[in-house]
């Protein structure tokens, strides 16, 4: 059987930050292909994209791809034949099925060796709050505890349940499963409820880590568009009525990536429809606490009916505090706990003790994070307006990201140019199961102001280079050095 060739966008994602090193581009590209081949991520016999197609996707000249392919051909890693294309050379592979690995740039950027690239692709707090280190410093673990708590430390389950109850959602500790971050929580729910071939309702665009999990489960996505007020509820109800998916996944509050907030009435309609149709509805609450005005009360979807809530401390506290949770009915949580026990016997217990204490004084931590987020949001939007005025960048009310729309061109190709200017961004197409959002980028505002400014300078330089070649034919002639979005005065300022 001939090996399946990866789609072009997946291959580009696997190439990662290939152009961020030093040296000619063709050697950098050849080096990354060499790594993928030697690690078995490009199997023998896989057909690689034609020179021109790959060059367009990477925003480089065709000669760069030709030279990279020829370098690998001379090494015996590729075979190039007229009429049959370019393939990975034959080699022995260990027998057995191959496990699907992520091609998500969000995760691949985290796996890269640290370099000088500014990561605008992973939205997570750069520094932990001082309360975290202080809590670890004064932590003492109880005696007489085996340390195995597959469902979670009882005190932490009670503390998380109490947070739901305080928001008007009666919850007992038996309805809480503690997980290693929200990602594991969503992974466990997917493993339990979704079988290969099942349908899953997803927003378009949506959190790319969720799409990866659904792909791993061999689910069939049923995407529903996200507008200025969140997911299109009428369309979502229609999809649930027509397809009865095994799961529906939404991010109603400070949506990742668009930052939108689903109005309460629309949220109620969505929950009532899902309950009526018997579709398990997952509410991703990982960003829900991150309002710029944290004193404003809010309601989770769980207040309207039977909803599976997935939350985390990773965004409000720090990504390295791998504490998340799932809230659901007691029978569902019991099943998820048995599944979790099979995989890891329970999450880190010292971290759970720390999380319990942090939740006891959580309001000041969230308020401090909100102030930081507000400042970063305003600074990033100001820099984009100053250096890239043609980019559309609506404000957000909370969360961690801006959803930016380019005036023209392709976000995946532009991201390649941005890498060569020292900035990693997340293209919208990687988050959209509808195949849309191709002109969009997700940018986070969690870096210090000076790094955000440096990132926008890099993006402006990248846009000047990219726009010179990607400007629509109907636009006025574009100078090789100046794009319609970046004035000569601005470019001079950038160069200083």
The CATH number of residue 434's host domain is 3.90.1150.10
Task: Report yes or no on 102 lying in a domain.
Answer: no
Do the beta carbons of residue 428 and residue 437 sit within 8 Å? yes
**Which H/E stretch holds residue 285?**
none
Do the beta carbons of residue 388 and residue 490 sit within 8 Å? no
Which domain CATH number covers 157?
A: 3.40.640.10
Looking at the fold, whether 313 and 376 belong to one and the same domain comes out as: no
Cβ of 191: how many Cβ atoms within 10 Å? 17
Is pLDDT above 90 for 443?
yes
CB burial of residue 339 (10 Å; 0-12, 13-18, 19+): middle
Q: How far apart are the C-alpha atoms of 390 and 406, rounded to whole Å?
A: 7
- Residue 218, by phi and psi: left (phi above 0), alpha (psi -120 to 50) or beta? left
Q: What is the pLDDT at residue 19?
A: 87
Q: Looking at residues 243-269, what average pLDDT do you find?
A: 97
Residue whose structure tokens are 């440096």: 454
Q: Looking at residues 272-276, what average pLDDT do you find?
A: 98
Question: What's the pTM value of the predicted model, to 2 decimals?
Answer: 0.82
Q: What is the pLDDT at residue 494?
A: 45
Looking at the fold, whether 402 and 334 belong to one and the same domain comes out as: no
Is pLDDT above 60 for 15?
yes
Looking at the fold, whether 185 and 76 belong to one and the same domain comes out as: no
- pLDDT over 90 for what percent of the chain? 73
Looking at the fold, whether 232 and 164 belong to one and the same domain comes out as: yes
Which domain CATH number covers 72?
A: 1.10.10.10
Question: Shortest CA distance to 420 belongs to which of 380, 462, 475, 372?
Answer: 462
Is pLDDT above 60 for 478?
no
Task: Report yes or no on 109 lying in a domain.
Answer: no
Task: Report yes or no on 104 lying in a domain.
Answer: no
Q: Could you list the residue range(s) of the whole structural domain that residue 459 is in?
A: 119-123+372-495
Looking at the fold, whether 460 and 486 belong to one and the same domain comes out as: yes
Cβ of 379: how many Cβ atoms within 10 Å? 18
Q: What is the pLDDT at residue 337?
A: 96
Looking at the fold, whether 146 and 48 belong to one and the same domain comes out as: no
Residue 484's pLDDT band (boundaries 50, 70, 90)?
A: very low
Looking at the fold, whether 387 and 483 belong to one and the same domain comes out as: yes
Looking at the fold, whether 184 and 256 belong to one and the same domain comes out as: yes
pLDDT in tens, 302-348: 999 999 999 999 999 999 999 999 999 999 999 999 999 998 999 99
pLDDT in tens, 46-102: 999 999 999 999 999 999 999 999 989 988 899 988 777 899 998 644 444 455 556
Residue 106's pLDDT band (boundaries 50, 70, 90)?
A: low
Task: Report yes or no on 99 lying in a domain.
Answer: no
Looking at the fold, whether 297 and 433 belong to one and the same domain comes out as: no
Is pLDDT above 70 for 23?
yes
Among the residue ranges 1-15, 75-89, 442-456, 478-492, the one predicted with the least confidence is 478-492
pLDDT in tens, 193-230: 999 999 999 999 999 999 999 998 989 999 999 999 99
Among the residue ranges 23-32, 132-141, 484-493, the one predicted with the least confidence is 484-493
Q: Please state, rounded to an integer, the average pLDDT across all residues of the chain.
A: 89
Is pLDDT above 50 for 479?
no
Looking at the fold, whether 77 and 163 belong to one and the same domain comes out as: no
Domain count, the chain: 3
Is pLDDT above 50 for 477?
no
Is pLDDT above 80 for 485?
no
Q: How far apart are the C-alpha atoms of 280 and 201, rounded to whole Å?
A: 10
Higher pLDDT, 446 or 91: 446
Q: What is the pLDDT at residue 293?
A: 86
Q: What is the pLDDT at residue 118?
A: 94
Looking at the fold, whether 306 and 427 belong to one and the same domain comes out as: no
Q: Looking at residues 364-372, what average pLDDT do you find?
A: 94
Q: Looking at residues 288-307, what average pLDDT do you find?
A: 88
């Amino acid at each position: 059987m001939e090996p399946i060739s990866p789609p072009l966008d997946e291959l580009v994602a696997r190439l990662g930050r290939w152009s961020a090193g030093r040296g000619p581009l063709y050697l950098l590209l050849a080096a990354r292909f060499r790594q993928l081949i030697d690690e078995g991520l490009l199997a023998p016999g896989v057909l690689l994209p034609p020179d021109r197609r790959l060059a367009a996707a990477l925003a480089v000249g065709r000669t760069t791809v030709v030279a990279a392919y020829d370098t690998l051909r001379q090494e015996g890693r590729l075979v190039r034949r007229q009429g049959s294309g370019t393939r990975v050379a034959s080699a022995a592979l260990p027998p057995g099925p191959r496990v699907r690995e992520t091609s998500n740039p969000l995760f691949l950027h985290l796996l890269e060796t640290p370099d000088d690239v500014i990561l605008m692709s992973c939205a997570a707090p750069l520094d932990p709050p001082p309360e975290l280190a202080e809590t670890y410093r004064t932590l003492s673990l109880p005696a007489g505890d085996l340390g195995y708590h597959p469902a979670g430390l009882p005190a932490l389950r009670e503390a998380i349940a109490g947070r739901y109850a305080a928001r008007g959602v009666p919850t007992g500790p038996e309805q809480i499963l503690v997980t290693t971050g929200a990602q594991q929580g969503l992974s466990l729910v997917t493993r339990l409820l979704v079988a290969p071939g099942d349908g899953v309702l997803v927003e378009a665009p949506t959190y790319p880590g969720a799409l990866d999990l659904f792909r791993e489960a061999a689910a069939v996505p049923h995407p529903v568009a996200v507008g200025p007020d969140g997911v299109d509820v009428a369309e979502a109800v229609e999809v649930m009525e027509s397809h009865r998916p095994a799961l529906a996944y939404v991010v109603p509050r400070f949506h990742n990536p668009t930052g939108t907030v689903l109005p309460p009435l629309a949220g109620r309609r969505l929950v009532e429809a899902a309950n009526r149709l018997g579709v398990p509805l997952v509410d991703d609450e990982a960003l829900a606490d991150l309002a710029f005005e944290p004193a404003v009360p809010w309601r989770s979807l769980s207040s309207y009916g039977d909803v599976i809530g997935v939350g985390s401390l990773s965004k409000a506290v720090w990504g390295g505090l791998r504490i998340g949770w799932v809230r659901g009915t007691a029978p569902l949580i019991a099943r998820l706990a048995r599944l979790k026990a099979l995989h890891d016997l329970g999450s880190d217990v010292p971290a759970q003790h720390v999380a319990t204490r942090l939740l006891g004084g959580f309001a000041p931590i969230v308020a401090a994070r909100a102030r930081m987020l507000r400042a970063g949001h305003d600074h990033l939007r100001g820099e984009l307006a100053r250096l890239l005025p043609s980019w559309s960048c609506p404000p957000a009310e909370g969360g961690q990201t801006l959803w930016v729309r380019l005036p023209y061109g392709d976000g995946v190709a532009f991201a390649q140019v941005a890498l060569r200017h020292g900035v990693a961004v997340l293209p919208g197409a990687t988050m959209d199961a509808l195949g849309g959002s191709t002109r969009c980028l997700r940018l986070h505002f969690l870096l210090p102001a000076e790094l955000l400014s440096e990132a926008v300078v890099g993006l402006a330089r990248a846009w000047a280079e990219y726009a010179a070649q990607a400007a629509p034919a109907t636009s006025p002639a574009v100078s090789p050095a100046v794009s319609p979005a970046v004035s000569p005065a601005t470019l001079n300022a950038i160069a200083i």
